[in-house]
Amino acid sequence: MPERHEFTIEAKDHRKRLDEFLFESFPHISRMYLREAVRDGKCEVNGLWENRGYELRTQDFIEIEIDLDRHTTMVPEDIALDVVFEDEALLVVNKKSGMLVHPTVGVRAGTLLNALAHHLNPQHTGDAFRRAGLIHRLDKDTSGLILVAKTPRAHRILSSHFQRKLVDKKYFAAVEGIIESESGEISAPIGRFEESRLWGVHPEGKESLTKYKVRESVGDATLLELEPVTGRTNQLRIHLAHIGHPIRGDVKYGGREFTRLCLHSAYLKFKHPADGRVLELSTEVPSDFFTAT
């Protein structure tokens, strides 16, 4: 049964986004459901409908009608996780290729968030249900390191660091063909084509830059270390296809079929949100990049 909940914004939440406030206030409720509640007019601020990006002010009065029973967060599932680092504030997981990061309308189970819900809440119940705060995303078929916040404070700080480009990221990719140069840059604007609704190199797109280094050649493929200087949608896949070296397994952008998409988030460098110390985490090249299984 839907219930009405009321909040008066305190100074500590001044200038916080409406959706972020709701996520923190209802940690056991799915974010998709909370966004839908705002979209459908079931949430008012000072008696008026506001969008989810509304910037809250001290003494704002929020009213929201939600069903606490029907729309709990994703079901926790006991799925093995490759945890590279973990403490009280955050964890870093080495995600496998083929795993969705979060549930969708059609897929509600087997995702990284299902696994994290179990990892953070082994008892699955109670008012202190801990929500995993995703700081960034990886495509379903991209493997590798993904950073997850365990507290609202860590989520705010790390998200800010990502937005301010204070986090270093590097990827491994096995691409079609042999690249002769030891290193280089790919600079090509990326935008969305309205007719096809696909992302690609577009004359009116946003400036995009990728740096690469050749690690080795294996048969008719090249292993690259990639640094996305900008962070556009599908940037690495689009840029590599643009120079005639699509990623192995990336059929969408011209690559040949393979057992997986050979793209891996290999390295993260960031400041810890609690004490500011620098953390550097890395993984090896996936063993299945060059071996069909």
Active-site residues, by number, are 139
166 token code pair: 């204070």
3-state DSSP call for residue 237? helix
* Measured CA angle at 31 (ends 29, 37), to 5 deg: 85
- The answer to whether the CB of 154 falls within 8 A of the CB of 86 is no
CA distance 250 to 100: 17
Phi-psi region of 197 (alpha: psi -120 to 50; beta: other; left: phi over 0): left
DSSP assignment letter at 22: H
Gap between the terminal Cα atoms of the chain: 50
Nearest to 191 by CA among 179, 183, 199: 199
Stated as kind and residue range, the H or E segment containing 267 is strand 263-271
- The answer to whether the CB of 223 falls within 8 A of the CB of 214 is yes
CA distance 212 to 178: 14
